[in-house]
Amino acid sequence: MRFTIQSKAPNSLARAGTIETLHGIIETPAFIPVGTKATVKSVATDVIENKVDAEAVLANTYHLYLQPGDEIIRKAGGLGKFMNWSGPTFTDSGGFQAFSLGTVKGRGKKIVSEIDSLAVSADGGILPTFANSKTKEELPQARGNGEVDSETMMAKIDDDGVTFKSIIDGSEHRFTPERSIQIQHNIGADIIFAFDECATPGADYEYQKKAVERTRVWAERCLDEHKKLGVGSLKLESALFGIIQGGRHEDLRKQSAQDIGAMDFDGFGIGGSFDKDDIGTAVKWVCEELPEGRPRHLLGIGEPIDLILGVANGVDTFDCVAPTRLARTGAAYIYPQPRVGLGSSSGKTRINLLNAEFKDDFDPLDPTCDCDTCKNYSRAYLAHLFRAKEMLGATLLSVHNLYFLVHLVKRLRTAIIEGKFEEVKERILKDFA
């Protein structure tokens, strides 16, 4: 992998560049669609390449390990060949899902708390993980004395890794830093991530500090295993990115960035859950500490404002399931539309086609958008598809939402190169304020 910075925005951390991989070039900054299980949900790979104009996809190590299994993907020739994608590929480490999904019991029941899962640390502490998830699953319940029934807890974190139960059949599995790297080498993506511990922003300072130290130690172990394996099992070289943690604490974020930034990683991922205000603070703290000449990826972030602020604070690539997840519920990103006969904007930047107002609305989804969905189908038709529970609705809306975010970031890239970043950034922020 080779990263080149082509242009920088004055008075900003924003930069435009290229990431060269064995399977093609990613022009940065870039939004990377998520293909969790080797598929971007409901959208074929040729559409992702030719209609969405995305340059890479990211798949999920945890899910591919459980199904179909990393050995099957290795035998198929690697992730790209397995899913018929010829461009660059990413895989995450699987840690986030092992910690969060592995803890869930009572799938399908109504949620009983804002926190969607629990994990138990080696010292017996109960750790809320990954708040703000949209899952509809019941929480494991802790006893009043802080202990957790062993039948309830489905994941346990210790200094060596995490033991968890499969969300498919309940079987027990073990991820360590070494095992994560071995699995990712089998999957064979161009860019892979070190195994880390992602604690919720709500975890107290002392636990965040422990998670940062554990992430540092695991990063060293991931690097050692990556170098030990050398060329991946597919005889293709994977670039390894280290991950920065630290929650919402400036000293921990900076310490993590300094520690991981000093290691021999090809690039860096910025992990952890973020509130809206964190993109302009925690991300900046990290990017100011990281080496300038290596790419930075912001994990799991995809709302338009977050992308804009991420680019402004030095992020090169992003991934998020939001565009396709929202599409499956009938929700679409749009730019604010001018009101007929008025000089003002409607102010809406997201609409839901299940709302009654769209039943006989024959305008394009977003008249300013050049995606195939907006060029060929009306809001009324899309609304009909969702009301009729036709699968095509999710596909067409996924194409639009993906195109919207991919091209929003491409617009920012062009602005950086043309020296107009601040002007364009402020204009878009005003649209989405």
Q: Could you read off the pLDDT of 341-375 as tens digits, one per residue?
A: 333 345 689 999 999 999 999 999 999 999 999 99
Does residue 339 sit in the same domain as residue 302?
no
Query: How far lies 289's CA from each of 201, 210, 252, 253, in Å?
Result: 20, 20, 12, 9
| pLDDT reported for residue 234 | 53
Question: Which residues lie closer than 8 Å to 137 by C-beta, 6 or more apart?
Answer: 104, 106, 107, 108, 109, 111, 116, 117
Handedness of CA 365, 366, 371, 377 (dihedral sign): positive
Cα 18 to Cα 16: distance, rounded to the nearest angstrom: 7
pTM metric for this prediction: 0.88
Give the active site residue among 306, 316, 319, 366.
Answer: 319
Domain count, the chain: 2
Final residue belonging to a domain, choices 299, 319, 339: 319
Contact at 8 Å (CB) between 25 and 7? no
Residue 268 falls inside a structural domain: yes
Tens digit of each residue's pLDDT (9 = 90 or more) over 287-323: 999 999 999 999 999 999 999 999 999 999 999 999 9
Which ranges of the chain have pLDDT less than 70?
A: 101-154, 201-202, 231-236, 273-277, 338-347
Does residue 197 sit in the same domain as residue 235?
yes
Which strand (E) or helix (H) includes residue 370? none
Cα 260 to Cα 257: distance, rounded to the nearest angstrom: 5
Contact at 8 Å (CB) between 199 and 208? yes
Residue 161 falls inside a structural domain: no
Query: Is 319 a known active-site residue?
Result: yes
Query: Is 431 a known active-site residue?
Result: no
Does residue 294 sit in the same domain as residue 395?
no
State the residue range of the domain holding 282.
Answer: 2-98+170-319
Final residue belonging to a domain, choices 290, 319, 348: 319
Give the active site residue among 92, 116, 306, 366.
Answer: 92
Q: In the structure encoding, which two tokens stand for residue 85, read together? A: 């994608």
Question: Which residues lie closer than 8 Å to 395 by C-beta, 6 or more apart?
Answer: 42, 43
Final residue belonging to a domain, choices 301, 319, 337: 319
Residue 9 falls inside a structural domain: yes
| pLDDT reported for residue 124 | 37
| pLDDT reported for residue 278 | 73
